[in-house]
Amino acid sequence: MPQIHEGSLIQRCPATALREFASDAAKSADLPSSDVSNSIDKMVSSLCPVCLNVIKAHLFEKGGKVLIEKECDVHGYFLDIYWSDVSLYKRFIKYFNDDRKLSKLAADQKGCPLDCGICDNHITGTLLGNIDLTNRCNMTCPICFANAGTNCRDPEISEILAMMKNLRAEKPVPCQAIQFSGGEPTIRNDLPQIIEQAKKLGFSQIQIATNGLRFAESLPFCKLIQQSGLNTAYLQFDGVTPEPYIFNRGRNVLPMKLKALDNLRKAGLESVVLVPTLSKGINDHQVGDIVRFASKNLDIVRGVNFQPVSFTGRIDSEEREKKNHHP
């Protein structure tokens, strides 16, 4: 009998990172606007989260949520939340627009989503390209969505350059913004060179998603990264007291966050986005305090991007259900 799994079980190496839900969304956004009042019940293409083979999946509505179920011949049955609010999903679908198709696509070799770049299942271009530079990390956060720290090789700089060229080659509109993530991208000693290459290719917005520890440790490193062409630091920032960090990160790193902000300010960076991971009962009561903190640091903080505890990664499914904010 196939084993039953609830929730995604595994994250992939950066060189082969296949964002399952993004792939599902790209392939399943075929619901016409006239159907948005109906119940969600359709078949889409998806991936087995273990072997990454393309398999059929079923999207359906239950309990006010959109669920996804699928079965791999080898690894069994999987059930997970696709959208936590069915009304929001239907609202999203209303604005789907497919009147313009990309004319510059990635070569079809292994088939979507195993090739690098956008295939002809995608209608619109890339607004923000995301490249995982490493799966290594200098923290072991209990809630890590990427399950960072597993044994994966880092992509070579030549591979990263090829990915960036793919993004810039999209037509009719090339990708303008790129974010480097991981793992922890500041671990790579060649990060300045990667940022420089992105700038040379014409990206107008270059970001890194970071826990900020290395920025806190070294002002010279902050200056080097700023001079390389970084536009924005997308900084993990869970609250204004120690407690959220102890739960989310395993230790109090608030002093390191404040030091990172100070060093980035001194280095001349003009844009930091604070990124709190909200956990129910842990830091959701600090939403206002985080916004007020940002408002007091408007010389460098340009926004706050709240995100819930992820549906994937290191946190187990039972704990994820308790700490997430879906109904």
The strand ranges marked E within 37-163 are 41-47, 54-62, 65-72, 76-83, 128-132
The answer as to whether 122 is a domain residue is no
Whether residue 170 is contained in a domain is answered as yes
Q: How far apart are CA 100 and CA 17, in angstroms?
A: 27
End of a domain among 79, 94, 109?
94
Most confidently predicted of 135-149, 166-180, 248-262 = 248-262
SS (H, E, C) 166-230: HHHCCCCCCCCEEEEECCCHHHCCCHHHHHHHHHHCCCCEEEEEECCHHHHHCHHHHHHHHHHCC
pLDDT tens across 16-64, in order? 333 333 334 334 434 333 344 468 899 998 999 888 889 999 999 999 9
Query: What are the structure tokens assigned to 262, written together?
Result: 């100070």
CA dist., res. 144 & res. 238, Å (int): 13
Asked whether residue 189 falls in the same domain as residue 306, the answer is yes
Residues 207, 80 share a domain: no
User: Do 138 and 78 belong together in one domain?
Assistant: no
- C-alpha 315/C-alpha 85 separation (Å) is 21
Q: What is the pLDDT of residue 120?
A: 73
Instruction: Look at residue 33 in the predicted model and tell me its pLDDT.
Output: 36
Query: Are 184 and 65 found together in one domain?
Result: no
Between 150 and 118, the higher pLDDT residue:
118
Residue 26 near residue 44, CB atoms below 8 Å = no
The pLDDT of residue 321: 56
**DSSP, res 233:** E
Q: Which of 94, 118, 148 is the last residue of a domain?
A: 94
Peptide bond into 192 cis (omega under 30): no
Q: What domain range includes position 86?
A: 4-94
Q: Which amino acid is at 35?
A: D
What pLDDT does residue 180 have? Answer: 98
Choice among 118-132, 138-152, 216-230, 281-295 with the minimum mean pLDDT:
138-152
pLDDT value of position 162 = 94
Q: Answer with the one of 34, 68, 94 that is the final residue of a domain.
A: 94
Residue 100 has pLDDT above 70, yes or no: no
Whether residue 200 is contained in a domain is answered as: yes
Same domain, 266 and 160: yes
Q: How far is residue 20's CA from residue 68's CA, in Å, rounded to a whole number?
A: 11
Helix (H, G, I), strand (E, B) or coil at 269: coil
Compute the distance between CA of residue 216 and CA of residue 194 in angstroms, rounded to an integer.
21
| CB 50 within 8 Å of CB 72 | yes
Tell whether 11 and 72 lie within a shared domain: yes
Is 108 part of any domain? no
| Domain match, 169 and 296 both | yes
Q: With H, G, I as helix, E, B as strand and everything else as coil, classify residue 302.
A: strand
Strand 277-278 and strand 232-236: the pairing is unpaired
Give the pLDDT confidence score for residue 110 in this predicted structure.
Answer: 77
Go through 255-282 and write b for each residue having 16 or more CB atoms within 10 A of its CB, e for each that does not: ebbbbbbbbbbebebebbbbbbbbbeeb
Query: What is the Cα–Cα distance from 307 to 19, expressed in whole angstroms?
Result: 17
Q: Does any domain span residue 107? A: no
Q: What is the CATH number of the domain that holds 180?
A: 3.20.20.70
Q: Is residue 217 part of a domain?
A: yes
* Mean of per-residue pLDDT scores for the chain: 82
Domain count, the chain: 2
Please write the tens of the pLDDT for every residue from 225-237: 999 999 999 999 9
Claim to verify: residue 234 and residue 170 sit in the same structural domain: yes
Q: Are residues 81 and 133 in the same domain?
A: no
Which pTM does this prediction carry? Answer: 0.76
242 is a domain residue? yes
In a domain, 121, yes or no: no
Whether residues 63 and 201 share a domain: the answer is no
Residue 224, Cβ density class (10 Å: 0-12 exposed, 13-18 middle, ≥19 buried): middle
Residues 143 and 77 in one domain: no
Distance, in Å, from the CA atom of 261 to the CA atom of 300, rounded to the nearest integer, reads: 8
Q: What digits encode the pLDDT tens for the residues 157-202?
A: 999 999 999 999 988 889 999 999 989 999 999 999 999 999 999 9
Distance of alpha carbon 112 from alpha carbon 119, whole angstroms: 6
- Tokens standing for 321? 């259900």
Same structural domain, 153 and 260: yes
- Are 245 and 252 in contact, with CB atoms under 8 Å apart? yes
In angstroms, the CA 258 to CA 237 distance is: 9
CB 321 within 8 Å of CB 289: no
